[in-house]
Amino acid sequence: MNETLTKFAPLAGTFLLGLLARLVWDKYQNRISQITYNVKHSFLGISGEDKLYGSVSLLYNQTPVQNLYISTMVIRNESQRDLTDVELNVYGAKEDIFLVSYGIKSNSVKPINYADEFTELMKSSSQRITNQRDYLVPVFNRRETIEISCLITNSVGAQPLLGLTCDHKGIKVVYKTEPQSLFWGESQALCAWWGLLISGIFLFPAIYYLKSGITIGIISFLLGAFLIIPGAVLVKIAKKVSNIFS
């Protein structure tokens, strides 16, 4: 028994040190909250003239426009903190014209309002602000998602170009080309890596104590097939512990 403990104590100690290092790193990272966003464009139509097909005129509220796109920006609070009074500045290229814009949380039916300063600027400005919309989010919970949809035309007929800024203290805005794959609300890749580590820890005693190759093979198969589940459990436990000390 003592010999077995001697063999596996370093492995268990290394695992606990890795978990502790992860918690410390998460606490350090959470000093700066990260907001990610990605943008998708849906093409609706374009005005133009062709010798073969003739003339096509696109109208919006009886006004001619060059083209029409529905551009959707998905914004996610990736941090472990709930944020308050976050101003999100959505902007387009100088040729973009925002016809309609609408923001809403994924778990709500209540629209997000413009920031007060932006509303006053829209009212007092002699020229219409066409390529910017500033939203104020009173509460932006951790892991929460906001979706902002815009009906946009471009004065030169090009596809809109949307971006996002935020001047809130302690917030970093990062563009992601695609939303990350999630499992049980957590990063699928992170769960898989932690699950692989846990599976390896369980597999070593099985190889040491079991003599049947078939049994070891079955256990290895099951650990490989379902390794993401214990990984997800560990990630959630780590986040709970991290929230206690943050």
Label the pairing between strands 83-91 and 163-165: antiparallel
Which single residue is written with the structure tokens 């999630």? 182
pLDDT beyond 90 at 174: yes
pLDDT number for residue 93: 96
pLDDT number for residue 18: 57
pLDDT number for residue 88: 97
Specify the higher pLDDT residue, 80 or 171.
171
CATH number of 35-178: 2.60.40.290
Specify the higher pLDDT residue, 226 or 65.
65
How many whole angstroms separate alpha carbon 20 and alpha carbon 64? 61
Instruction: Please list, residue by residue across 193-232, b when 16 or more beta carbons sit within 10 angstroms of its beta carbon and e when fewer do.
Output: ebbbbbbebeeeeeeeeeeeeeeeeebeeebeeebbebbb
pLDDT (tens digit, 9 = 90+) per residue, 203-239?
A: 777 666 777 777 766 766 666 667 678 888 888 888 7
- pTM for this prediction: 0.65
How many whole angstroms separate alpha carbon 42 and alpha carbon 92? 15
Q: How many CA atoms lie within 13 A of 195 on its CB side?
A: 22
pLDDT number for residue 83: 94
pLDDT (tens digit, 9 = 90+) per residue, 2-23?
A: 555 454 555 455 555 655 665 5
Q: What percent of the chain has pLDDT over 90?
A: 43
Mean pLDDT rounded to a whole number for the chain: 82
pLDDT (tens digit, 9 = 90+) per residue, 114-150?
A: 999 999 988 887 677 899 999 999 999 988 999 999 9
Name every residue whose Cβ is closer than 8 Å to that of residue 245 and which is 6 or more positions away in sequence: 23, 27
